[in-house]
Amino acid sequence: MTTAESVTALTRHLLAFDTVNPPGQEAASMRFCASALEKAGFACRLIDHGADRAGLVATRGDRPGLCFSGHLDTVPLGQARWSHPPLGGEIVGNRLYGRGSSDMKGGVAAFIAAAQQTTAPASVILTSGEETGCEGARWLAEAKAMPPARGMIVGESTDNQPVAGHKGALWLELVTEGVTAHGATPELGRNAIAAMAPTLARLAHWQPAHAHPDMGRATCNIGTIRAGINTNSVPDLCRLGLDLRSVTGLGHDRLRQEVRAQCDAGVGIETLLDLPAIWTDPSDPWFASACALVLQHTEHRELRASVNYFTDASVLQPAMQVPVMILGPGQVDQPHVTDEYVRVSRLVEAVALYTALIEVPG
């Protein structure tokens, strides 16, 4: 079987598992990956998370090797009609279609295929629950299941361009409370929306005053607002959702304090998600060697400093203390879209890159 046939078959098999999160149900696809890796000489440990959810840690060799990280859950399909079956893995020309083809079952298939082509020491970490806040990575870290490694490749969508880091994510929910009353007698109540309004007005024109020379600016987006149960009642609760993206050097405690400074005294703040930014100095010896190899064997001529999406590295890098490169065959514009696809040529290229990277010394 050729590399193209092998990696496309693996990708299509992974796409056939319905791992839309919620609910996830990644356990069956984890068992499939464990079986494939065991045939390549890996010792596999499945860590059960309950409710048909699991993570996988696979290791091979008697010394720390390169670690590959990926997740098997996918986002919902959305309301738009797909032109290609989202679980079908249809191939049209150079495109392999399906939910998760780019984000990131294609990347997982590529590093499994690469692992099958060498016997060098290596490890693989596959997680569930990445799309809803890296829950699976946390479960594995709490289980102390992390293998020793000299470096980590996160196979997220970069079009096979090496990436040194990504922004952090801090999701906050602001809360105001009021007293409900009939809409015809608002003076008898206390309106929670009105209580939130001054804070909302300030945040609508506010951005964090922090930047990183390579990662760009920290940002704040007002993502959700929920209040009221019907038009003719005074709302007694208002919730405002903020999506803050941080950069290296900006601690999330400080970012919370800056948001607090924009809020009225009666506004409560709850943390929904807290994932730090990830950055590996491009001069790190392993990273520099790996980056040079990738640039030598792809059309890319330079490192991409950072991406804005978060990855499991937010949890895994602090737990493992290893340099991280984000490198995967999916295109940056494909995750979460209708008719998501990955290029077959990029899958084949990723297998070659991953196989060579396994041999890069730490």
Does residue 141 sit within a domain?
Answer: yes
- The number of distinct structural domains making up the chain is 2
Residues 80, 142 share a domain = yes
Does residue 185 sit within a domain?
Answer: yes
Mean pLDDT across the chain, nearest whole number? 97
Tokens of 212: 């990183």
Residues 230, 143 share a domain = no
Does residue 362 sit within a domain?
Answer: no
* Residue 362 in this model has a pLDDT that exceeds 90: no
pLDDT in tens, 125-184: 999 999 999 999 999 999 999 999 999 999 999 999 999 999 999 999 999 999 999 999
pLDDT in tens, 46-94: 999 988 999 999 999 999 999 999 999 999 999 999 999 999 999 999 9
Residues 181, 118 share a domain = no
Q: Which of 220, 248, 275 is the last residue of a domain?
A: 275
Residues 231, 139 share a domain = no
Does residue 187 sit within a domain?
Answer: yes
Residues 218, 157 share a domain = no
Does residue 191 sit within a domain?
Answer: yes
Residues 149, 43 share a domain = yes
Q: Which of 246, 275, 304 is the last residue of a domain?
A: 275
Q: Which of 258, 275, 292 is the last residue of a domain?
A: 275
Name the pLDDT band for 359 (thresholds 50, 70, 90).
confident
Does residue 34 sit within a domain?
Answer: yes
Residues 283, 265 share a domain = no
Residues 195, 106 share a domain = no
Burial 305-323 (b: 16+ CB within 10 A, else e): bbbeebbbbbbbbeebebb
Domain that residue 41 falls in: 3-166+277-357
State the average pLDDT over residues 340-355.
Answer: 98
Does residue 219 sit within a domain?
Answer: yes
pLDDT in tens, 210-240: 999 999 999 999 999 999 999 999 999 999 9
Residues 151, 47 share a domain = yes
CATH for 291: 3.40.630.10
Residues 146, 227 share a domain = no
Q: What pLDDT was estimated at residue 167? A: 97
Q: What pLDDT was estimated at residue 360? A: 82
How far is it, in rounded angstroms, from Cα 283 to Cα 211?
21
CATH for 268: 3.30.70.360
Residues 148, 42 share a domain = yes
Residues 319, 189 share a domain = no
Does residue 153 sit within a domain?
Answer: yes
